[in-house]
Amino acid sequence: MPWNRDEMAARAAGELRDGYYVNLGIGIPTLVANMVPEGMTVTLQSENGLLGIGPFPYEGELDPDLINAGKQTITDLPGSSYFSSADSFGMIRGGHVHLSILGGMEVSQNGDLANWMVPGKMIKGMGGAMDLVAGVRRIVVVMDHCDKTGDSKFKSECTLPLTGKGVVDMLITDLGVFEIDRRGDSGATLLEIAPGVSLDEIRAKTQAEFALGPGVR
Amino acid sequence: MPWNRDEMAARAAGELRDGYYVNLGIGIPTLVANMVPEGMTVTLQSENGLLGIGPFPYEGELDPDLINAGKQTITDLPGSSYFSSADSFGMIRGGHVHLSILGGMEVSQNGDLANWMVPGKMIKGMGGAMDLVAGVRRIVVVMDHCDKTGDSKFKSECTLPLTGKGVVDMLITDLGVFEIDRRGDSGATLLEIAPGVSLDEIRAKTQAEFALGPGVR
Amino acid sequence: MSSKIFNSAAEALAGQLSDGMVVAAGGFGLCGVPVDLIMALRDSNAKDLTVIGNNVGCDDHGMWHVLANGQIKKVILSFAGDNKILAQAFMSNEIDIEFNPQGTLAERLRAGGAGIPAFFTRTGYGTIIAEGKETRQFPNPDGTLDWFVMESGLTADISLVKAWKADTEGNLVYRKTARNFNPMIASAGRLTIAEVEEIVPVGSLDPDSVHTPGIFVDRIVASTMREKHIERPTTRPRATKETV
Amino acid sequence: MSSKIFNSAAEALAGQLSDGMVVAAGGFGLCGVPVDLIMALRDSNAKDLTVIGNNVGCDDHGMWHVLANGQIKKVILSFAGDNKILAQAFMSNEIDIEFNPQGTLAERLRAGGAGIPAFFTRTGYGTIIAEGKETRQFPNPDGTLDWFVMESGLTADISLVKAWKADTEGNLVYRKTARNFNPMIASAGRLTIAEVEEIVPVGSLDPDSVHTPGIFVDRIVASTMREKHIERPTTRPRATKETV
């Protein structure tokens, strides 16, 4: 059976390491915040100017001056710090954030990512997505393997306008986990298959080319 | 009689305006700090990271963490603020400082300034001088008209390595005051002559070409 | 010195606006937005404005009012998704929208304020953001080469910012994530006006903790906004057995 | 999380240094200099170092000791006038000195820390600083053209900074003009070590007033320096009739 949203987030949480500074996108990536392994310290960055995101506030304790990049009310933590958007993206662009987990519309086998616009539809803007994928050291994308019509979203080449070229290190879908050699020539490698999903099913549903990792068959 | 150091500083103080943010170089320019006209508010910037320089501290109240760009102990004032060197030179380079009054070794008739090195002598470094002359809106140079051998320091062209090209708006020497059209083609204009100094004396002691301002003869 | 304090947003803007100007305004969503100043901009009826900001208003809030009043010719922003009028005006080509990656927009404003006309960033290389812009390779610290895009500094004729506190010198302190784009926009304005929740006497701010030094602030007004809006109120349940 | 706190400067540097490394150190004159860390660098005997800093030591202080110990191959600085050994070594071509305008040096370090490989500045155009560098024209806000010089971002293998306080997360607060180059150098290091006067519990710093967020700081040591030196003590006389 393919992974559900929580299972995909849990798999993404497996990429966290003790001491990491991490930026989480909206949607499934946000769920990762609640899945930090016991005993591990991970500091969450909000690109609108906060290091150290706390849990959502209790009813009656909302602070309009304290929101995350998705405009939700949040809290801070002991050890948090606030800074300007320029300083925040200095952190991001300068490679100080270890990991970003983001949603995607399309990923290509060489690590291109499209997740900000669909031609002809209302354009919302890329916000901080282009900066995150260009600057954060390691990019993990979490998305459904196929779109609503059943077409593969993991492609040989993206068809939508790109968010970044050669930026994705790992793709986690409901069907499996792929590693992508975005700086080299080795392309994509299937590392894990969701329990109960067959390699044949992944092959049938994937337009991208990929190699098989050790133990995957 | 030529102006002395205090008189040159007093003339430079005549360039202050109410509300100005000002950076003063070391030497004669520092004297200007004590010559702000009554009722006028001028805020002094120290490029090592302070806006709002106060007077020197009293004996026994020196703070090693509070120095000016000349490494002297100073004080701050109500309304002062501290910032990093990057932010400080952001202010300077971004044209937010209205006026800088600096010393000089040579000034040319088109506004070039040399004040940081003499080939063959020990090189100390330019410090913040190049940033100040490139970024501050108005640059006033205060220097002796001639060097110790009697040669003019106000020249058709500088012979020493430049601090900035086309940067000086006004030159105040012990003999007089020159306005320089550093962005245009009008060159230098003699605006004032020190009391008791003759135009002939200035002509004889000046290697630069200059026009005569209204009323100067 | 003549005072930087003005009695109202309208007085602070009086005589400063003209058609075709470039106006930058701070804020991220509804957070840290100079609401009074923006309404005074709307009331001025200045036209053909170019407006710079992360969002340029959310529905019924902030710069949305200036947009709805037909005063804006072009916007330079990062995210328009909170603003239906803007998105529609763009789809129908009524307004020129220049989309910027959020970090690029923040850095362009910082650069403009700091006298840097252009810089290179990895952000946007290989995307439509890089089209028509100069790209080139630079070495990483490890010696490998990456491609970068040249982006230009941004300045504004008038900058409108929102702070928590100002002293009478114009030193500003922001609160929490309401800081966002305000410091860079304050530095990028030829004329910068700050709307603040509290004006405090000179000397009452810690000089080590000033976010925007007074040199960047020309005019100050006390905000009349008494209630701050929240776009997406989000809470967690209280633990059921919690003792209060 | 493994702690960022180390017991001494020597322990914080242990195993991190190798010959030929690039080391950046904060400070302006004797103000805000990570003295303990620099002495530990001297004791390491790492050689052929490239050192970045505004002054790279003053006579008998700070990086002067590393220089006097023959460990430095190249310095990247703005002002060497306080350091006779350095000036002499330069005159005799023993050491490669790269002079930078102070604001350009500060901005190069900020750029390096912020992922910007190059930027343009008006500073130094038409001087020897621009020789061999790309220059080009950009428009000013008023439409006139000026010439600018392209400068590159700077990073360091190890950054040594001095702060007033750190919490255990590595958030730093600096004091007065001891801030100077420290924040940019903290951001520009692959490994950044902070020497601080006081280590405070997490939660005791105001999150709105942190100067260097902990993300930039890998290791923290408490300074053993008990007396701060002053290069040019300057005082004013007390008014003679002043009542105490």
Query: pLDDT at position C244, please?
Result: 42
φ, ψ (nearest 5 deg) of residue A204: -65, -30
What span, in angstroms and rounded, lies between the C-alpha atoms of B163 and B134?
9
| Structural domain count of chain B | 1
**Contacts of B among chains (3+ CB pairs under 8 A):** C, D
The mean pLDDT of chain D is 94
**Can you state the angle between helices B85-93 and D102-113, rounded to 10 degrees?**
120
Is residue B162, in this structure, part of any structural domain at all?
A: yes
Chain C residue numbers touching A64 (CB-CB < 8 A): 30-31, 228-230
Domain edges within chain C: 5-116+154-222, 118-152
The answer to whether the CB of C5 falls within 8 A of the CB of C42 is no
Give me the residues paired with residue A142 across strands: A103, A172
Question: pLDDT tens for residues C103-123?
Answer: 999 999 999 999 999 999 999
Q: Are strands A50-53 and A43-46 parallel, antiparallel or unpaired?
A: antiparallel
Tell me the two tokens of residue D145. 């053209």
Q: Which of A15, A47, A106, A179 is labelled catalytic?
A: A47
* Residue C84 binned pLDDT confidence (cut-offs 50, 70, 90): confident
- Choose among A48, A63, A134: nearest Cβ to C180: A48
Backbone angles phi, psi at A10, to 5 degrees: -65, -40
Model confidence at D46, pLDDT cuts 50, 70, 90, reads very high
Nearest to B172 by CA among B37, B32, B38: B32
Q: What are the residues whose beta carbons fall under 8 Å from the beta carbon of B7, sequence distance 6 or more?
A: B194
Kindly report which listed range (A93-102, A179-188, C79-88, D54-63) carries the lowest average pLDDT score: C79-88
For residue B62, the enclosing domain spans 5-212
Q: Do C101 and A49 touch (CB under 8 A)?
A: no
Q: D112, A94: Cβ pair inside 8 Å?
A: yes
Segments of chain A scoring below 70 in pLDDT: none
Place of tokens 């370090």: D109
A199, part of any domain = yes
| Nearest CA-CA distance, residue D110 and chain B, Å | 7
CA angle, B174 then B180 then B186, to 5° = 135
Query: What's the full length of chain D, in residues?
Result: 244
List B15, B47, B106, B179, catalytic entry? B47
Q: For C153-197, how does the pLDDT look when each residue is reduced to its tens digit (9 = 90+)?
A: 999 999 999 999 999 999 999 999 999 999 999 999 999 999 999
pLDDT confidence of B207, banded at 50, 70, 90?
very high
Quick one: pLDDT at residue A42? Answer: 97
Q: Which residues of B touch C205 (CB under 8 A)?
A: 81
Residue A81 has its nearest CB partner, among D2, D114, D210, at: D210
Does the structural domain C5-116+154-222 have CATH classification 3.40.470.10?
no
Contact across the interface for A94 and D214, Cβ inside 8 Å: no
SS3 content of chain B, % helix, strand, coil (to 5): 20, 30, 55
Task: Please indicate whether, in this complex, the C-beta atoms of A84 and C144 are within 8 angstroms of each other.
Answer: no
Chain C residues in contact with D32 by the CB 8 A cut-off are none
Tell whether the model's pLDDT for residue C227 goes beyond 90: no
Strand partners, C192: C159
The confidence score (pLDDT) of residue C240 equals 62
Euclidean distance between the first and the last CA atom of chain C, given in angstroms as a whole number: 53
What is the predicted pLDDT for the residue at C238? Answer: 87
- C179 → closest Cβ in A55, A82, A125: A82
Please report the ipTM that was assigned to this predicted complex.
Answer: 0.97
pLDDT at D215 over 70: yes
Contacts of D236 in chain B (CB under 8 A): 55-58
Residues D186, B90, D127, D133, Cα dihedral to 10°: 60
Place of tokens 């805000």: D32
Of A35-49, B172-186, D174-188, D220-234, minimum mean pLDDT range: D220-234
DSSP A152: B
Is residue D115 less than 8 Å (CB to CB) from chain C?
A: yes
Residue D244 has pLDDT above 70, yes or no: no
Could you tell me which residue, D234 or D84, shows the higher pLDDT?
A: D234
Separation CA B86–CA B89 (nearest Å): 5
B82 to chain C: closest CA residue: C208
CB contact under 8 A, A19 and D168: no
Q: What is the pLDDT of residues A131-187, one digit of tens each?
A: 999 999 999 999 999 999 999 999 999 999 999 999 999 999 999 999 999 998 999
**Residue B15 among the catalytic residues:** no
- CATH no. for residue B189? 3.40.1080.10
The Cα of B192 is separated from the nearest Cα of chain D by a number of Å equal to: 30
Q: What pTM value is reported for the model?
A: 0.97
Q: What is the pLDDT of residue C140?
A: 86
Instruction: State chain A's mean pLDDT as an integer.
Output: 96
pLDDT (tens digit per residue) in B62-117: 999 999 999 999 999 999 999 999 999 999 999 999 999 999 999 999 999 999 99
Q: Do D115 and A21 touch (CB under 8 A)?
A: no
Amino acid identity of residue A143, one-letter, is M
* D244-to-C114, D235, D238 alpha-carbon distances in Å: 45, 18, 10
The pLDDT, as a whole number, for residue D241 is 56
Average pLDDT of D118-133?
98
What pLDDT shows up at residue C143? 86
What CA dihedral angle connects D65, D68, D72 and D77, to 10 degrees? 70
* D215, D216, D220, best to mutate vs chain A, most A CBs in 10 Å: D215
Task: Say whether pLDDT at D87 is over 80.
Answer: no
- The tens digit of pLDDT for each residue in B22-69 reads 999 999 999 999 999 999 999 999 999 999 999 999 999 999 999 999
* D75 vs D227, higher pLDDT: D75
Distance between CA atoms of residues B175 and D93, nearest Å: 41
Q: Is the dihedral of CA D184, D185, D186, D188 positive or negative?
A: positive
pLDDT surpasses 90 at C86: no
Which chain C residues contact residue D137 at CB under 8 A?
A: none
Rounded to an integer, what distance in angstroms lies between the CA atom of residue D66 and that of residue B184? 49
Model confidence at D58: pLDDT above 50 = yes
Chain A, nearest residue to D168 by Cα = A79
Cβ separation of D107 and C114 shorter than 8 Å?
A: yes
pLDDT, one tens digit per residue, over D159-195 is 999 999 999 999 999 999 999 999 999 999 999 999 9
Given an 8 Å threshold on Cβ–Cβ distance, is A125 in contact with C79? yes
Is position B111 within any domain?
yes
